[in-house]
Amino acid sequence: MTVDPADRVEQVPPSGIRRFFELAEEMDDIISLGVGEPDFSAPWAARDAAITSLEQGRTSYTANRGRRELRELIAAHVDDRYDLRYDPDEEILVTAGASEALDLAFRALVDPGDAVAVQQPCYVSYVPGVLFAGGEVVPVETRAADEFELTRDVLEAAGADRAEVLVICYPNNPTGATISDERLHEVAAFAREHDLTVLSDEIYAALTYEGEHTSIATLPGMAERTVVFNGFSKAYAMTGLRLGYALAPPEATTAMNRIHQYSLLSAPTTAQYAAIEALETCRDDVEEMCAQYDRRRNYVLSRFAEMGLDCFRAKGAFYAFPECPRDDAAAFAEELLEEQGVAVVPGSAFGAAGEGHLRVSYATGMGELKEAMARIERFLPA
């Protein structure tokens, strides 16, 4: 007797990012610009709150939806920062990272055979999440010419009107793109006209460097059809604590919580105490980290310009997405790693729309960034 994996799992290839991490792990003197993780530690006040909660023996389950105190603080936070208004009792679900929230939404809102339009390039878990839920992916390929903003014409060209669900992400991973209010209104109008549920990944909302982040859920007629995802991993440098949340109409959070309570029960208790403190006292820490990312962003973009690498001006997250100077970006990335010890990720790891680009993370110290840029410059042909 043998174990026979389900077909829907077998059809999902391994992560394109993971391959480069594994290569890098086998080498010495590597500078990684491939990982999407802050190089900062979580704010000390949040870490201290987590330690105190352990010392006081707060190691039991919380409510399935998360501690009410935390949900109330999340509601106040998103109202203050993004003009989003959600009932902490019925419209907020605390999860083990935004990734769990996304997985719950796919499983709760996508029926087998449903078409799900996915903006691309995109975070590597979106397409597998749709496939694991039994859905059909409809790729919606954004264009470098539009600075990777989602537009009505690419939605129409992709056939997104036949979908039940649309997945978007701004600020975007992997491109670092944000979206203008004009184009966000276009997307919202398209969703209303074709009765689409929108899954809006806004985990990088706090890392917006030019202008203010606007959530699609704030636009007319969108709150009732949108699930917003956010969390503490990126802005608060709490990736390992695994804490995120979903904001959605009651029928969506109820359906998601039904799966959550059977699969995970509740998000990590210690992380919830850290998050409570983070929301209460750590805004200055977040602003300081954002300022450092912005400084690094400007440095990386200026160095790419000096090298002659075409790269649109990324305005959010902590990624740049330059065009690769060779036709084969995967081969370029592998040779750069082997010859210069700099790890970047080929854009094809994030979907076909990423072909010909490289994802470069500047979530690393300025000293290493300067050395990495020097190595990339040495690797480029004269």
CATH number at residue 370: 3.90.1150.10
Task: Judge whether 48 lies within some domain.
Answer: no
Task: Judge whether 49 lies within some domain.
Answer: no
3-class secondary structure, 172: coil
Domain boundary among 242, 259, 281: 281
User: Are residues 269 and 244 both part of a single domain?
Assistant: yes
pTM of the predicted model as reported, rounded to 2 decimal places: 0.95
Tokens 């990590």 belong to 268
Task: Judge whether 166 lies within some domain.
Answer: yes
CA pair distance 231, 93, nearest whole angstrom:
11
Task: Judge whether 2 lies within some domain.
Answer: no
User: Are residues 304 and 192 both part of a single domain?
Assistant: no
Q: Write out pLDDT tens, residues 135-150.
A: 999 999 999 999 999 9
User: Are residues 324 and 273 both part of a single domain?
Assistant: no
User: Are residues 249 and 311 both part of a single domain?
Assistant: no
Looking at residue 141, which CATH number applies to its domain?
A: 3.40.640.10
| Helices and strands of the chain, counted as H and E runs | 13, 12
How many beta carbons lie within 10 A of that of residue 339, not counting itself? Answer: 11
User: Are residues 373 and 265 both part of a single domain?
Assistant: no
Contact 176, 142 (CB under 8 A): no
Domain boundary among 247, 281, 315: 281
User: Are residues 154 and 267 both part of a single domain?
Assistant: yes
Q: How many domains is the chain partitioned into structurally? A: 2
Per-residue tokens: 110? 């996508």
* Helix, strand, coil % in the chain, rounded to nearest 5: 45, 15, 40
How many beta carbons lie within 10 A of that of residue 2, not counting itself? Answer: 3
Contact 194, 97 (CB under 8 A): no
- The range of the structural domain enclosing residue 136 comes to 59-281
pLDDT tens across the length of the chain (382 residues): 578 787 777 777 776 666 666 666 666 788 999 888 999 999 999 999 999 999 999 999 999 999 999 999 999 999 999 999 999 999 999 999 999 999 999 999 999 999 999 999 999 999 999 999 999 999 999 999 999 999 999 999 999 999 999 999 999 999 999 999 999 999 999 999 999 999 999 999 999 999 999 999 999 999 999 999 999 999 999 999 999 999 999 999 999 999 999 999 999 999 999 999 999 999 999 999 999 999 999 999 999 999 999 999 999 999 999 999 999 999 999 999 999 999 999 999 999 999 999 999 999 999 999 999 999 999 998 6
Pairing of strands 165-169, 226-231: unpaired
Task: Judge whether 137 lies within some domain.
Answer: yes
Domain boundary among 281, 304, 321: 281
Task: Judge whether 51 lies within some domain.
Answer: no
User: Are residues 296 and 247 both part of a single domain?
Assistant: no
| Helices 97-109 + 250-263 axis angle, to 10 | 110
